């Protein structure tokens, strides 16, 4: 009998889903970033849960307040990628009984901060005794069925685009986890990227509202992983020809003889949006993001053939399904 450390998270989820009676008439398929329930006419109730486990998800140097904030923000990022505004957060906490009252307060402040930064409220939850800190958040929001952007709508020819720049969290984690060093002006933003992640909520809501996206996901498990997920859901491939790597990550990579593309593709805990856009709507999408003063870069195209490749300087190499996967890392 195989242990789940050999199976990996994807197979674990498949096994569980295989046990479930499927709800008839699901508006969002299993495996997308959120779940949804029809409320009548075209309104959807949108829900999402994701758990932070201190042992695996909280690097050294991250405070309890930051950990709690991150537990909320990583859920909000999934709502952002679907174009859904989160209204409320429920929090289920597992707490070791050795924590102090001050620790609990720090957790409470972080939860509130994570929610309020994005206009949501923590409205309930429960606490439990556990051997490690576990923070399970669940979000609720409401949206129009026509607005929610799923993973499965990308078509060959669509432009793939991303917000922001990549590689910072991968480099930041190397500093925090492996103790690699870097000059102060680089260390600070790289660590900050890990400790205080931001969700692209305004951007996701604006793009979805304007109906310019065919598919969307966030890059929380790494850009490469996200491309593979979009590829599986939409049944397309991707040719990537460009990738905005953060200058701090480039400098960090140079210092340590690392490949900046590797940092950008196979990192994780990076909450950018990875979206596909119909070519005829590209200009509109670009304009929306320019108005928001947000970096938005076309990085390639969706292709008929289900291959995911990086082509730079005439050289082509496969983008592997590699990134953050529980039970394997």
Shortest Cβ distance from residue 117 to its own copies (Å)? Answer: 11
Q: Which residue from 42, 61, 132, 304 is in contact with its own copies, where contact means CB under 8 A?
A: 132
Nearer residue to its own copies within complex by CB, 14 or 305: 14
Q: Is 91 in the site for its own copies (CB under 8 A)?
A: yes
Euclidean distance between CA atoms 93 and 110, whole angstroms: 13
C-alpha distances out from residue 276 to 105, 142, 150, 218, 239, Å: 41, 23, 11, 12, 12
Q: Is 312 in the site for its own copies (CB under 8 A)?
A: no
The sheet that has 86-95: what strands, in order across it? 35-38, 43-53, 134-144, 86-95, 121-129
Q: Is 57 in the site for its own copies (CB under 8 A)?
A: yes
Shortest Cβ distance from residue 229 to its own copies (Å)? Answer: 13
Q: Which secondary-structure segment (H or E) carries 124?
A: strand 121-129
Q: Is 145 in the site for its own copies (CB under 8 A)?
A: no
Q: Which residue from 41, 101, 178, 280 is in contact with its own copies, where contact means CB under 8 A?
A: 101
Nearer residue to its own copies within complex by CB, 30 or 312: 30
Shortest Cβ distance from residue 18 to its own copies (Å)? Answer: 7
Q: What is the number of alpha carbons within 13 Å of residue 319 lying toward its C-beta?
A: 32
Nearer residue to its own copies within complex by CB, 66 or 136: 136
Shortest Cβ distance from residue 326 to its own copies (Å)? Answer: 5
Cβ burial of 133 (10 Å; 0-12, 13-18, 19+) is buried
Q: Is 39 in the site for its own copies (CB under 8 A)?
A: yes
Q: Is 126 in the site for its own copies (CB under 8 A)?
A: yes
Q: Which residue from 97, 146, 291, 313 is in contact with its own copies, where contact means CB under 8 A?
A: 97
Q: Which residue from 80, 111, 159, 207 is in contact with its own copies, where contact means CB under 8 A?
A: 111
Site string for its own copies, 176-215 (x = CB under 8 A): ----------------------------------------
Q: Which residues contact 42 (CB under 8 A, 6 or more apart)?
A: 144, 145, 146
Q: DSSP string spanning 188-246?
A: HHHHHHHHS----HHHHHHHHHTT-EEEEEE-TT-HHHHHHHHHHHHT-EEEE----B-
Nearer residue to its own copies within complex by CB, 18 or 257: 18
Shortest Cβ distance from residue 218 to its own copies (Å)? Answer: 13
C-alpha distances out from residue 72 to 68, 137, 142, 166, 275, Å: 7, 6, 18, 21, 22
- Using CB under 8 A, count the residues that bind its own copies: 79
CB 312 within 8 A of CB 245: no
Q: Is 63 in the site for its own copies (CB under 8 A)?
A: no
């Amino acid at each position: 009998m195989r242990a789940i450390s050999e199976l990996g998270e994807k197979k674990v989820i498949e096994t569980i889903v295989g046990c479930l009676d499927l709800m008839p008439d699901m508006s969002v398929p299993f495996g997308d970033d959120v779940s949804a329930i029809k409320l009548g006419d075209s309104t959807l109730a949108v829900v999402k849960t994701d758990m932070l486990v201190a042992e695996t998800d909280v690097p050294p140097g991250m405070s309890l307040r930051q950990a709690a904030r991150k537990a909320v923000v990583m859920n909000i990022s999934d709502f952002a990628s679907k174009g859904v505004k989160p209204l409320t957060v429920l929090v289920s906490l597992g707490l070791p009984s050795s924590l102090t009252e001050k620790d609990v307060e720090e957790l409470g402040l972080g939860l509130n901060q994570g929610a309020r930064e994005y206009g949501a409220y923590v409205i309930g939850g429960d606490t439990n005794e556990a051997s490690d800190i576990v923070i399970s958040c669940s979000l609720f929001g409401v949206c129009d069925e026509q607005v929610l952007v799923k993973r499965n709508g990308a078509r060959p020819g669509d432009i793939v685009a991303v917000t922001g720049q990549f590689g910072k969290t991968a480099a930041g984690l190397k500093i925090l986890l492996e103790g690699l060093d870097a000059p102060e002006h680089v260390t600070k933003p790289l660590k900050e990227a890990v400790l205080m992640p931001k969700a692209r909520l305004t951007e996701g809501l604006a793009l979805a509202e304007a109906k310019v996206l065919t598919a969307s996901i966030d890059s929380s498990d790494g850009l490469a992983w996200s491309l593979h997920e979009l590829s599986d859901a939409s049944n397309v491939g991707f040719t990537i020809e460009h990738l905005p790597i953060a200058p701090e990550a480039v400098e960090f990579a140079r210092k340590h003889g690392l490949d900046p593309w590797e940092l950008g593709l196979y990192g994780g805990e990076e909450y950018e949006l990875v979206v596909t856009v119909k070519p005829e709507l590209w200009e509109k999408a670009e304009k929306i993001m320019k108005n928001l003063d947000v970096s938005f870069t076309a990085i390639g195209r969706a292709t008929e053939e289900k291959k995911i490749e990086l082509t730079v300087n005439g050289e082509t190499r496969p983008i592997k399904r590699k990134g953050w996967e529980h039970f394997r890392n």
